Amino acid sequence: MKLAVPKETKEKEKRVSLTPDVVKGLVKGGFECIVEKGAGEGSFFSDEAYCQAGAAIENDKSKLFADADVLLAVNTPDSSQIGHMKRDAVLISFMWAVSSPDLVQACAKQGISSFSVDAIPRISRAQKMDALSSQANLGGYKAVLLAANTLGKILPMMTTAAGTIRPAKVVIFGAGVAGLQAIATAKRLGAVVEVSDIRPETKEQVQSLGAKFIEVKGDESIKIEGGYVKGVSPEFLKKQQELVAKHVKEADIVITTALIPGKKAPLLVTEEMVKSMRFGSVILDMAVEQGGNVAGSEMNKTLVKEGVTIIGESNLPSLLPMNASELYAKNISTFLLHLASKDGFKWEMEEEITKGSLITHKGSVVHPALSKPVTA
């Protein structure tokens, strides 16, 4: 099978779907790899490195798409690029299918099979394929560094001849993968860390990292599936906001990480809370691409409101492109080898990982979370 690796075209995207090391293993396993010229440059992988790994370099993006049996990407190509793919080819990438109906329909109409890596079930045997976690881990780390770099003070306590500097206070919303890494990073830098999460089972994890847990008692409106929040009522969000308002007011840095799959991100930091913060404090909204957890945050913009800097960086893993690409390449290649061999796909339609991640197949939308199948 011919595996194609395109150069990503999304704004601010520096990652690449396969690295030379992973290409080398796939070529050894009998796959043919074709990499678009310059695809790895943003992640510091040269065309020469891909050639040495056994890949061919393709200058023509349209030809790359047309020749691919399997297109491996970070982000789903746009509809016009999907139109160059041959019928029965396979696309594997982040698709965010619930919120990207036009791209899903484009895949169905083109007659290609598409797998979304963000839909891979969060089960133990799929851990090595879990691109959401690998990228969120890096995002949580980078969020703290970005906020700390913007803050006009140091994070740790420091005693000098001129006096003692008190440690900075960091408040983190959400103790998922990104939040836990943010906690660990902020603690390593010497900050005092407080954490809010509506899932009581995260309390022990938060405390094990040396942070204080801000406990909000849950109610029946909270829907959790597989350890992830799927829904929450406006009444509960208001109760959470009231409880954490005092902590936000005293914070030097606030980092928000809360996402609900397929829905707008919940508002956690209100305009009044922003106004209450100290002059010079910093907020980083990791959910900005899905509507944001912070009132006034804007995607890919850094704004100053009421003396508070609000950072709306939409693609934090791309700011660490070498590591992000290395991890993603291992995730997506493990996923590919679960689905197929060099001779073709297994198409085990009732197998849990296949069923959970397959979006379109043979001209139809097939994922159970999406609308009725639309046949090409």
Active-site residue list: 122, 127, 130, 133, 228
Residue 139, both tokens: 């995002």
Distance CA 315, CA 347 (A): 33
Do 94 and 116 contact (CB within 8 A), yes or no? yes
Q: At what angle do helices 20-28 and 321-339 cross, to 10 degrees?
A: 20
How are beta strands 192-196 and 212-214 bridged, if at all?
parallel
Query: CB-hemisphere CA count at 13 Å for 17?
Result: 29
Residue 368, both tokens: 């159970």
From residue 265, give the alpha-carbon distance in Å to each of 163, 187, 237, 286, 287.
42, 26, 12, 10, 6
Return the ∠ at Cα 40 (arms to 298 and 74), rounded to 5°: 50
Residue 199, both tokens: 């899932």
Return the ∠ at Cα 196 (arms to 309 and 143), rounded to 5°: 40
From residue 321, give the alpha-carbon distance in Å to each of 50, 220, 230, 271, 313.
17, 41, 29, 33, 15
Residue 282, both tokens: 């910093």
Distance CA 88, CA 108 (A): 10
Distance CA 37, CA 332 (A): 20
250 CB-near residues (< 8 Å, 6+ apart): 169, 278
Distance CA 116, CA 94 (A): 5
